[in-house]
Amino acid sequence: MTRANVSDRDGASAMIALHAMHLRQVQNVLVDGGYSGVNFQLDVASNLNATVQVAKRNELHRFEVMPQRWVVERSFSWLENCRRLWKNCERQLTTSLQMVVLAFLALLLKRF
Q: Which of 58, 54, 20 is nearest to 35 (CA)?
A: 54
- The pLDDT of residue 61 is above 80: no
Confidence (pLDDT) at 89: 72
Long-range contacts of 62-70 (CB under 8 A, 24+ apart): 68/30, 69/32
User: Which H or E element spans position 54?
Assistant: strand 51-54
- The pLDDT of residue 57 is above 80: no
User: Which H or E element spans position 38?
Assistant: helix 38-48
pLDDT grade for 50, boundaries at 50, 70 and 90? very high
pLDDT in tens, 70-99: 777 777 788 877 877 767 777 787 888 888
Q: Are 12 and 40 in contact (CB under 8 A)?
A: yes
Q: How far apart are CA 36 and CA 112, in angstroms?
A: 39
Q: 82, exposed or middle or buried, with CB in 10 Å at 0-12, 13-18, 19+?
A: middle
For the whole prediction, is pTM greater than 0.75? no
Distances (CA, A) of 31 to 23, 86, 94, 98, 106: 16, 23, 24, 23, 27
**Mean pLDDT calculated for residue range 35-62:** 83
Confidence (pLDDT) at 60: 59
Mean confidence (pLDDT) of the chain:
82
Going from N- to C-terminal start, the domains of the chain cover: 1-56, 58-112
Q: Considering only residues 88 and 18, tell me which one the structure prediction assigns the higher pLDDT.
A: 18
- The pLDDT of residue 6 is above 70: yes
